[in-house]
Amino acid sequence: MEELLEKLLEAVEFGKVDQKSPYPPQLKGQDGSHEITISAIETGISPQRILEEALIPAMARVGKKFSENKIFVPQMLMSARAMGASMLQLKPFFTSGDIKTKGTFIIGTVKGDLHDIGKNLVAMMVEGGGWSIVDLGVDVGSDRFIEALRNNPGAIVGISALLTTTMVNMGEIVSSIKEEVPDTKILIGGAPVNDDFCQKIGADFYAPDPQGAVEYLNKMAS
């Protein structure tokens, strides 16, 4: 089991999507994250362990190497693709929640920001917790959040940011939403944001991880 998790971590770290993928040359012909994730699930490794012991640590290594200029954007993108291939296999496990939904959760990555792995994970876990999801994707400004709220009255909004340069855009989005659709509850998350920032911009809650988001939403629903 440990060996499979280690292999998966390596596949994501080096951006090996599947066996056919020629990238990276040193892993040519070997299984990629797609095949290894399937084997891991078949072996009985829980999706939670796959996520916590292989995928998330792999992205942490990728981020560290990028900070140290040891890899560049194309390599980071290949790692993101490899993680995406793995998450596709995990999704059914995280989204097999209640059929009757507890409410609607509108989620998007903040304007200017293209990072969606964390946002997708939050969406998956919240969906698994019994909520309907309206996923607006990446680079989402206040207009699209407000439009989605008008189409889904009473929904709770979640905004994700991964860059220090884009987290500031959350402030404008929160103010516009609160002005146009008062009483909307807004949850924020993502690596650079924290509780202080959440209070400063007038959002309602900061969740450091998907579980925190699910717990907050469930509290709102009860």
Q: Is 1 in the site for ligand B1M (CB under 6 A)?
A: no
Q: Is 188 in the site for ligand B1M (CB under 6 A)?
A: yes
Contact between residue 187 and residue 213 where contact means Cβ atoms under 8 Å apart = yes
Pick the closest to residue 173 from 154, 195, 148, 194 (CA basis).
148
Residue 157 dihedral angles phi and psi, to the nearest 5°: -105, 140
Give the x-and-dash track for 87-116 against ligand B1M (CB under 6 A).
--------------------x----xxxxx
CA atoms within 13 A on the CB side of 142: 14
What would the two tokens of residue 168 be?
A: 């500031």
Give the x-and-dash track for 5-44 against ligand B1M (CB under 6 A).
----------------------------------------
Window of 59-67, 96-104, 127-135, 194-202 that interacts with ligand B1M by CB under 6 A: 59-67
Q: Is 117 in the site for ligand B1M (CB under 6 A)?
A: yes
Closest separation between CB of residue 29 and ligand B1M, Å? Answer: 25
Q: Given the complex with ligand B1M, which of 122 and 136 has the nearer CB atom?
A: 122
Q: Classify residue 156 by burial, with Cβ atoms within 10 Å: 0-12, 13-18, 19+.
A: buried
